Amino acid sequence: MPERRRELLQTLEFTAQFDEVVQHHSRDVIEPVLTGLLDGIARSPQSFSRTIGNWRLARSDSLGLTIPMFRIVFEILDEGKEDSERVLLLWIQEDSTFDEILGGT
């Protein structure tokens, strides 16, 4: 049975932040990272850790010094209701590769 993809909804804040990220980077560089991260959230949102309340955090892996890393905070709407479960993307943040190298989180 194929894995079910949840519908991804966006807050206005997420949309504005996402648009800003896309403006600052080459689409060829960040599109694979963001597509992979969003696909993981859509396919298996429960696999990401909870942060505060019902919010969860997805974080991209470091792929080198020239490719930015991202964190996406999201919430699962109607969690546990298989037919109506959706994901609300709350915000996206670019992480500094330099901080990661120095051991920051």
Q: What is the pLDDT of residue 84?
A: 76
Give the single-character DSSP code of 47: G
Strand 55-59 to 7-10 pairing: unpaired
Tell me the C-alpha distance between 99 and 52, whole Å. 23
Residue 55 has pLDDT above 70, yes or no: yes
Identify the band that residue 1 occupies on the pLDDT scale cut at 50, 70 and 90.
very low
**Contacts for 78 with CB less than 8 Å, ≥ 6 apart:** 84, 85, 86
User: Would you say the C-alpha torsion 14, 18, 21, 102 has a positive or negative sign?
Assistant: positive
8-50 pLDDT, tens digit each: 999 999 999 999 988 888 788 788 889 999 999 999 999 999 9
Predicted TM-score (pTM) of the model is 0.82
Can you list the domains of the chain with their CATH numbers? 7-101 (3.30.2310.20)
pLDDT for 53: 87
